[in-house]
Structure 1
Amino acid sequence: MAAGRGAELLRPLTSSGRATFLELFFDLAFVVALTRVSQRFAGLGDDAGWALVTGFGRTLLLFLALWLIWSHTAWITSRYEPEQPLIQAVVVGTMFAGLIMAVTLPRAMEERALPFTAAYLMVMLVRPLVVAAALRGHPRRLVPFRLAVWASASAPLWLAGALGPDRLRLPLWAAALALDYLAWTLGWPLPWLGASKVGRWRIAGTHLADRYQQVFLIALGESILVIGVVFSGTDYSAERAAAFTVAFTTSALLWRIYFHRAGLLLTDALDRAAMPGRLGAVSERTHLLIVLSVLVTAVGYELVIDHPFGQPRPGWLLFVVGGPMLFLVARLRLEHEVFGRLSRSRIIGLVALLLCTPALARWTPMAGLSVVAGVLTLVALLDALRSRGRPPELPASPIGRGATDVSDSEA
């Protein structure tokens, strides 16, 4: 009886599997968070050397903390029925915590460290306990229980970083975040209970694909917001207008390259996978890189539109060229995950950007962004030529091929 009552929270087989309006509402907080991450990255444009490295590392850590919150929530709504009032309350509560993290993020490494940490731990520690209690006697209650135990292990590091000296915050939080990601990778193993790796979970593959595609579009939307806000200043010179146009073209090319065709067929790939959880877990890491690459590229837009023909600086090369290069690497991963191959067009694009980088370090920011847009255009054209006259491809993911779904009662 208890297991039956707890089972009401699980996604039924008749569920549509599509993302809900509740999750789109949740994403609004993540939009704010990504904007704050982008602003922190943009503040590094004038830095160089060790200051650039440490500044980038601090912002990257905050982004990875936010990503862990978002990805955990995506998996929760892929496993549990989002129409259940308790799950809706959990998602809305997570949204509020995410919004707190977003508004404190610009100074999260300084005087707002404690509220940022408190919001993060509220999600990582309290949320799984609520879900475990609601599942009552159902075997799956052990999964959120594992999450809570591991979160309690990293919590002292988070709190020590927030309350301790500023110089120790970065190493303590880096250790705490590494522990949280290690737990996610290993499946939160506990003595006598073993592990529960996400690759073995029963999930709604269609739903997870929807969420990954949506978070990419959210990141792309944030880049469009950056383009519009920066260009809407008082200076409407022809140089800035040209930079605005090239930046928008670059974003459009990122959209095209992502969805042709692996990004578009991710849903089918997860539906066809023998173990969708395994493919979903691998794809989660890929989309982390994709979202990060779009954010970094958006910072490059801001730097170029502000000073299209300014003096080249070490910081701008990291964003203008480094962001698109990371995107192509992540898109290579996605191509392999969906089709089991490496994309020649993306390899060509990566090689072209690598060869151009030494020269771009001496050119103006506008020239660098124009070269990036030209290389991405080449990638998109090669994609179009490859698919021209051919029937639509079907996904052929090599991940979990030949495997059967697990019988683990906690899956």
Structure 2
Amino acid sequence: MTNRHQDLRDTPPPVALAQVDELIRTGGDGRLELIGLSITPHRRTVWSRAGASTSTSAAAWYDCVRGRQKRQKRGEPVTSGVGRLLREPEEQRATFLDLFFDLVFVFALFRLSHGLLNHLNWTGAFQALVLLLAVWWVWTQTAGIGDRFDPRRPAIQLLVIGCMFGSMVLAAAAPGAFGEHGLVFAGAYVAVQVGRSLFLVIVTRGDERQRTEMRVLFWYGVSAVPWIAGAVVQGWPREVLWSLAVAVDYVVLRIGWPTPRLGRAGAAEFPLSGEFLAERHRQFFIIALGELILVTGLTFTGDGFGADRSAAAVVAFATTVLLWRIYIHRAGQVLAEAVTAAPDPLRVAVSAIYAHPVMVAGIVAISIGDELVIEHPLGHTPPAWVAVILGGPALFLAGRATFEYAVFGRVSRNRVAGVLALAAISPATVFLPPVLVATASALVLAGIALSDAARARGRPPEPPSPPG
């Protein structure tokens, strides 16, 4: 072998990483074959085809360049393609783009609560739940973009803004989704989910991440069928088809999006930032509380500031504060640490993703109850009103207990006691004025918050201990 070829074998040539796959390949006999062009700052050098035995240095060089995809994971040097769109690990905080995207969901929750208020029965409650689950899934899947991709890149900004517009259309159609606006709602949902996934498949072309995005795109294509089919029928068939579509979207995440020819995604394909996950979920919870404040304020200013209405507004505001306190103590503070400490971080993340819409559903019900109580603080309380005034906090506590189990591997007894207390007082509340029913609900929540504070006093903070 000539000295030139010896040098070529033992010395890594000055080639950009993006060109490596075009310049090397392994021969059938285990030798490295170097073909193509190398661009240096000074000249263009033509490589002759040269066989090189896999000596230690050559093998090390081969391993280095073939490991290029691994170096393109979050936080490592990247040079081209999808690498430019990835986010650095030290930047795993919510950005202005994330908060801007969230704005549309204040509107979405407001529309959902008013849709349920106009159909305050079991059918309306079920329909509102289906719509809320769809809205939540749009948010959580789009919010995940900020964990993986750099929001400063124009392509990512356009993607998120496009999803934001689709979410606004979806929210606008929500109150009439089971009526004349079904096709608008379903079309907006499918457009956001399929469009976002298709975009990510395109931008990850040639990268190992594309396999994951293709799985997601496949399953959103599958769930699009019952979404669109349900939109063109009326009555209970729409409820059945849309429930099936929502179930598909939620279940396939849990089982790793098993896809023909691509298989099932492993946990390694879902790199998680616990800090980003926790911060984004806290922000959505604040959005839900913001909708609660919005409804309280708008209703309170609508028809004077009488003593009875003022008392109802005070109770509504106190309830909002108590919800915040119960959420943040203490699982809401340490979700990031729980994800880091968990033997299976993805399991903790998915549990948090599933627990939050239950809590948000409770807050939506509470907002309806607050509006009813402020508008009609006195008189008798119909059973449907009792269902939202007391059922909303009970639903919130159920979701909060699920969240607590995901973080600590146990559920506080006061959460269970709170749900039982709300159920126990519900039969008698139909004889009380609405403002007193709301006050009873707030007192139960206050008891839970005080119990949390008493248990924590004088003790070191409990570390997260997610179930194995």
Give me the TM-score of the superposition, normalised by structure 1.
Answer: 0.91
Q: Which residue is 1:409 aligned to?
A: none
Q: Which residue is 1:25 aligned to?
A: 100
Please state if 1:155 is matched with 2:224.
yes
2:150 to 64, 78, 81: 81
Q: Which residue is 2:47 aligned to?
A: none
2:252 to 179, 183, 194: 183
1:59 to 119, 128, 141: 128
Query: CA separation in 2, counterparts of 1:28 and 1:148?
Result: 26
Please state if 1:10 is matched with 2:86.
yes
Q: Which residue is 2:54 aligned to?
A: none
Instruction: Give the C-alpha shift of residue 158 in structure 1.
Output: 1.7
Indicate conservation of the 8 Å contact 2:379/2:434, yes or no.
yes
Please state if 1:100 is matched with 2:176.
no
Amino acid at match of 1:108: A
1:228-248, Cα deviation, whole Å (9 max, x unpaired): 011111232211111111111
Q: 1:164 to 1:280 in 2, by over 3 A?
A: same
Q: Which residue is 1:298 aligned to?
A: 367
1:272-297, Cα deviation, whole Å (9 max, x unpaired): 33443221111111111111111111
For 2:85, what is the secondary structure of its paired residue?
A: coil
Query: CA separation in 1, counterparts of 2:163 and 2:429?
Result: 43
Q: Which residue is 1:385 aligned to?
A: 454
Please state if 1:248 is matched with 2:317.
yes
Query: CA separation in 1, counterparts of 2:344 and 2:251?
Result: 21
Q: Which residue is 2:276 aligned to?
A: 207
Amino acid at match of 1:386: R
Query: CA separation in 2, counterparts of 1:161 and 1:340?
Result: 39
Q: Within 5 A, what are the aligned runs for 1:2-401?
A: 5-13=81-89, 15-45=90-120, 52-166=121-235, 168-196=237-265, 201-398=270-467, 401=468
For 1:321, what is the secondary structure of its paired residue?
A: helix
Query: CA separation in 2, counterparts of 1:169 and 1:94?
Result: 24
Query: CA separation in 2, counterparts of 1:311 and 1:197?
Result: 55
Instruction: Give the C-alpha shift of residue 302 in structure 1.
Output: 0.8
Indicate conservation of the 8 Å contact 2:108/2:171, yes or no.
yes
For 2:144, what is the secondary structure of its paired residue?
A: helix
Instruction: Give the C-alpha shift of residue 102 in structure 1.
Output: 1.2
Percent identity reads 42
Give me the TM-score of the superposition, normalised by structure 2.
Answer: 0.80
1:247-305, Cα deviation, whole Å (9 max, x unpaired): 11111111111111111122222233344322111111111111111111111111111
Q: Which residue is 2:46 aligned to?
A: none
Instruction: Give the C-alpha shift of residue 85 in structure 1.
Output: 2.3
Contiguous gaps of at least 5 residues in structure 1: 46-51, 402-411
Q: Which residue is 1:407 aligned to?
A: none
CA RMSD of aligned residues (A): 1.8
Instruction: Give the C-alpha shift of residue 105 in structure 1.
Output: 1.5
Q: 1:287 to 1:367 in 2, by over 3 A?
A: same
Amino acid at match of 2:104: A
Contiguous gaps of at least 5 residues in structure 2: 1-17, 22-68, 70-79
The structure with the larger Rg is 2
Query: CA separation in 2, counterparts of 1:255 and 1:6?
Result: 39
State the number of aligned residues: 392
